[in-house]
Structure 1
Amino acid sequence: MCSSSWKTMAVALLLIELWFTIESSLAHPDKIVKLPGQPPRLSFQQFSGYVTVDYKKHKALFYYFVEAETDPASKPLVLWLNGGPGCSSLGVGAFSENGPFRPNGEFLVKNDYSWNREANMLYLETPIGVGFSYSTNTSSYEAVDDEITARDNLVFLQNWYNKFPNYRHRDLYITGESYAGHYIPQLAKLMVEFNKKQNLFNLKGIALGNPVLEFATDFNSRAEYFWSHGLISDSTYNMFTSVCNYSRYVSEYYRDSVSPSCSKVMSQVSRETSKFVDKYDVTLDVCISSVLSQSMAINPQQVSERVDVCVEDKIVNYLNRKDVQKALHARLVGVRLWTVCSNILDYQLLNLEMPTISIVGSLIKSGIPVLVYR
């Protein structure tokens, strides 16, 4: 081969190397190259990382974002929030319910019913102290309430758009479950107010799954649910509705003042329902979904024993692997382990008693469609 051919080849190789260097530098810093154990040949991109919501207190919220399987540019953006308060949208929503994968031992199994088949899904671990979200100022975990959470979530979205400007003004939906019945309406309200000054959020609707919207109504459905499924006797049902209903018990419990009458009723309810039934879906097997953890966060437990939670165990094991955390660009700050529901967060649980149903009504009046599903 002549020298000119060698020179041509050398230049070509240099150009290829330069192209790969430029391509690499242009890659999004939060892009996930590959999650350990994930199925081969994915048709969508994944991203995860941190968004700072308070620079003074070094508060950073962790997110996991999966683009739609096909034509993501034409699909809406959906923000998913789990409840608790204090439970992980990454562990519960993304890896247990509607995300693209579910952990199974060393591998991730494809979820055929993943919502990213139709939407770009954004999962947020909120508030600070949940999952991989953290603050270097531990006072940020104290006396956290709905107002602080809503404000941080608003700032998160504003700053997330800076990371992903192509999603700014994209059709946006917010959905979640349980205590997200507080998180979502209050966030949506702030977004509507923000848009009056600067039109940033193209909020098209919200969906609330089994939400806490009105404390007394929602919590007191428990007696009817247990009785109608044959879990408690007629006499216990009558006690549960007349002597001490569930909202009264929860209210007393979080004020450290459980009355003898409420203690007696709840002990009887616990004996009859037993620890071998999932109180949130009585048709499930004993090995139940990790949705139990977020329910436990706002529901006082009369029985100390816990049923083996199979799905939750797999998620906890997977997200505590160092190679998984590295792939997710995640880190543990101030805690040894990732947990489904935070054990360092001091949430003001009496916020439960503040109804958000009126906020839902105001959102509907402002033109935001709302779906409530059970």
Structure 2
Amino acid sequence: MLSQAWILIMATIYATQMCLIVESLSDAHKIKSLPGQPHVSFQQFAGYITIDEKEKRALFYYFVEAETHPTSKPLVLWLNGGPGCSSLGAGAFSEHGPFKPRGDVLVKNYYSWNQEANVLYLESPAGVGFSYSANKSFYALVNDKITAQDNLVFLKHWFDKFPEYKNRDFFITGESYAGHYVPQLAHLIIQSKVKFNLKGIAIGNPLLEFNTDFNGRAEYLWSHGLISDATFEAFTYVCNYSQIRRQIPTGSLTPVCSGVSDQVSREIGDFIDGYDVTLDVCLSSLDSQSKVLNQLKDSKKVDVCVQEETFKYLNRKDVQKALNGQLVGVTKWTFCSAVLHYDMQNLEIPTVPILGSLVKSGVRVLVYSGDQDSVIPFTGTRTLVNGLAKEMGLNTTVPYRAWFEGKQVGGWIQAYGDFLSFATIRGASHEAPFSQPERSLVLFNTFLRGKPLPEATSSTVPTKLSNNPINNI
């Protein structure tokens, strides 16, 4: 029989060795400094997690610790949509990461989400960005089920690499087609009974239900003066946008629908960004994460050509080396995959029921919309969330009201029960943190904390606007 003292000594040695192994694994992915970045005090990591040894399939991640007190702040996973577009290029370097490319250097993003959390950006599925599969047959047909399963395997392995985050409050966030990725992954986590401390999900301008989301486009374009009355009628009753979206992938666009589509495009013109109808565009902008749904260009408000800058930056060899990334089977890093063939039938899988299931499981669900997006307009999203609340018998706990960022209206909010809410971000595009970074950060912060969004105070509203505008003609 071994003595208790000897067992304790051996256990201590084993634990020390395991700690050294874990530390060496994370240290191997630690970024010393990205080319051209300003000095920062927080740590950054990037590299690959192999999710299938046999097929040599690996997903690339970029992880930034919180700027301050990282040990006490939650972990947030961010997923961009597409399907098949990069969270590194869009989420991290164009929206809410710590830096944004500008020429040959990186500049600090003063509204970075790592002010409030430790943020993990994942390029998923394999074939997106730096993520890859050595077996190229994987790219032939990827779907939501495969993506969710691979993302779960990634998380399991990532937590093994960073065990200090295993018990941390965990949130999954994303936008656009992440309206599929995020709830499906969260649901799989619950089904799999893995020991992740999942607290909530937040999805921006998400694709939730094919017909409602896409058919809201006609009224939105018409109400913003981008199409005529006649075109609105045709776009609503002759051939709607969901019909067009179904026909395009199969090359079966009918002459009638082709005519309506051309009519809409002709009236909108080439210099309006469907993902932010009120802002100017970058005339040389690259395709964005939203190419599958529509063309996305950027606004002067922040950096009109931030995606072009990001494309150049991430294709620098010194940057790829610093990120521990590599190009496998492709000649350049791109925002949206040119090799991945996604099952576009998955776009028609409604994810609203999954949101309901998450709410029943006690997972907080925030659905938010930049209100300048015409491709997945907030009107359809709001209708879907409101319908879900009614179906579940949830009482309105926060009546529809304005919320504030500083002294200005940041958007509107409505909450149902304790776990479901819908918010708009005023003046924001499809990629809300890009065009309204400060307001998006306020929304993000309050969501993580489970706090109500700020309300107006007596000192907030100017005297001239204190009267009800409905009574003023």
Is TM > 0.5 for Structure 1 vs Structure 2?
yes
Which residue matches 2:219?
A: 224
Which residue matches 2:65?
A: 67
Instruction: Among all aligned residue pairs of Structure 1 and Structure 2, give the percentage whose two residues are the same amino acid.
Output: 65
Distance 1:284 1:109 in 2: 23
- Point out 4+ residue stretches in structure 1 off by more than 6 angstroms: 24-27, 288-291
Any residues of structure 2 matched to 1:296-311 within 5 Å, and which? 296-299=291-294, 310-311=305-306
Distance 1:26 1:313 in 2: 33
Any residues of structure 2 matched to 1:116-131 within 5 Å, and which? 116-131=114-129
Q: For 1:173-232, what per-residue CA distance to the aligned partner results, in whole angstroms no more than 9, with x for missing partners?
A: 00000000000111011000112xxx4111000001000000000111111111111000
Measured after TM superposition, the shift of residue 116 of structure 1 is 0.1
Distance 2:328 2:121 in 1: 20
Structure 2 unaligned regions, length at least 5: 1-22, 297-303, 370-473
Which residue matches 2:399?
A: none
Distance 2:24 2:314 in 1: 28
Conserved? CA contact 1:278–1:288, under 8 Å = no
Q: Which amino acid aligns with 1:33?
A: K
1:33 aligns with 2:32: yes
**CA distance 1:289–1:216, change in 2 (3 Å):** farther
Q: For 1:111-134, what per-residue CA distance to the aligned partner results, in whole angstroms no more than 9, with x for missing partners?
A: 000000010000000000000000
Q: Which amino acid aligns with 2:137?
A: S
Distance 1:351 1:227 in 2: 29
SS of the equivalent of 1:297 reads coil
1:49 aligns with 2:47: yes
Distance 1:167 1:243 in 2: 53
Structure 1 unaligned regions, length at least 5: 1-23, 302-308
Which residue matches 2:104?
A: 106
Distance 1:184 1:25 in 2: 30
Any residues of structure 2 matched to 1:1-374 within 5 Å, and which? 28-40=27-39, 42-195=40-193, 199-287=194-282, 293-299=288-294, 310-374=305-369
Conserved? CA contact 1:289–1:311, under 8 Å = no
Measured after TM superposition, the shift of residue 25 of structure 1 is 6.2
Which residue matches 1:304?
A: none
Give the alignment's TM-score, normalised by structure 2: 0.70
Conserved? CA contact 2:25–2:161, under 8 Å = no
Q: Which amino acid aligns with 2:244?
A: Y
The alignment yields a C-alpha RMSD, in angstroms, of 2.0
Distance 1:356 1:364 in 2: 13
Distance 1:71 1:281 in 2: 35
Measured after TM superposition, the shift of residue 300 of structure 1 is 8.7
**CA distance 1:39–1:233, change in 2 (3 Å):** same
Conserved? CA contact 1:126–1:149, under 8 Å = yes
Distance 1:164 1:25 in 2: 11
Conserved? CA contact 2:274–2:295, under 8 Å = no
**CA distance 1:26–1:253, change in 2 (3 Å):** closer
Distance 1:325 1:299 in 2: 29
Distance 2:339 2:149 in 1: 20
**CA distance 1:333–1:236, change in 2 (3 Å):** same
Conserved? CA contact 1:92–1:291, under 8 Å = no
Distance 2:217 2:261 in 1: 12
Q: Which amino acid aligns with 2:266?
A: R
Distance 1:106 1:191 in 2: 40
Conserved? CA contact 1:86–1:341, under 8 Å = yes
Distance 2:295 2:36 in 1: 37
Which residue matches 2:299?
A: none
Greater length-normalized contact order (CA 8 Å, ≥ 6 residues apart)? 1
Measured after TM superposition, the shift of residue 355 of structure 1 is 0.6
Q: Which amino acid aligns with 1:137?
A: N
SS of the equivalent of 1:97 reads helix
Distance 2:157 2:281 in 1: 42
| Larger deviation, residues 348-357 vs 309-318 | 309-318
**CA distance 1:187–1:168, change in 2 (3 Å):** same
Distance 1:226 1:46 in 2: 42
Measured after TM superposition, the shift of residue 292 of structure 1 is 5.8
Which residue matches 1:305?
A: none
Conserved? CA contact 2:275–2:295, under 8 Å = no
Q: For 1:279-326, what per-residue CA distance to the aligned partner results, in whole angstroms no more than 9, with x for missing partners?
A: 11011112179796222113499xxxxxxx722111011001010000
SS of the equivalent of 2:250 reads coil
**Equivalent pairs, count:** 342
SS of the equivalent of 2:291 reads helix
Measured after TM superposition, the shift of residue 349 of structure 1 is 1.0
Conserved? CA contact 1:172–1:203, under 8 Å = yes
